[in-house]
Amino acid sequence: MNPAYILDVSRLCIEFDTEAGRVRAVDGVGFQLGKGRTLGIAGESGCGKTITALSIMRLLPRPVSRIVQGRVLFQGRDLPALSKQEMQQIRAGKSP
């Protein structure tokens, strides 16, 4: 992890279970955000902006969707690996 970044997302892949089978809605997204910086994500409707943001906060609709690959580091912490309680603290803006 590069300490210059507060948020470091790499190779993020998100899948949904649908009636038509398993669908990969986000395939290999990555970006870095420097501390104190603002990042805008632009793209056509349905390209995965909302799903990407929800996945970072671990708010993807369950059980139909999930992160299947990739890494999300926030302040050096691997968000997908945190406990529910730790994640709630992050969402509340309370980093240990």
Ligand X SMILES: Nc1ncnc2c1ncn2[C@@H]1O[C@H](COP(=O)(O)OP(=O)(O)OP(=O)(O)O)[C@@H](O)[C@H]1O
Show the beta-strand stretches assigned E in 35-88: 65-74, 77-78
Distance CA(25)–CA(64), nearest Å, equals 12
- What is the contact surface with ligand X in residues (CB under 6 A)? 16, 18, 23, 25, 43, 45-51, 61, 64
Distance CA(71)–CA(77), nearest Å, equals 10
Residues 34-73 that bind Mg ion (CB under 5 A): 49-50
Kindly state the smallest distance separating residue 21's Cβ from ligand X, in Å.
11
Kindly state the smallest distance separating residue 65's Cβ from Mg ion, in Å.
14
The site for Mg ion (CB under 5 A) is made up of: 49-50
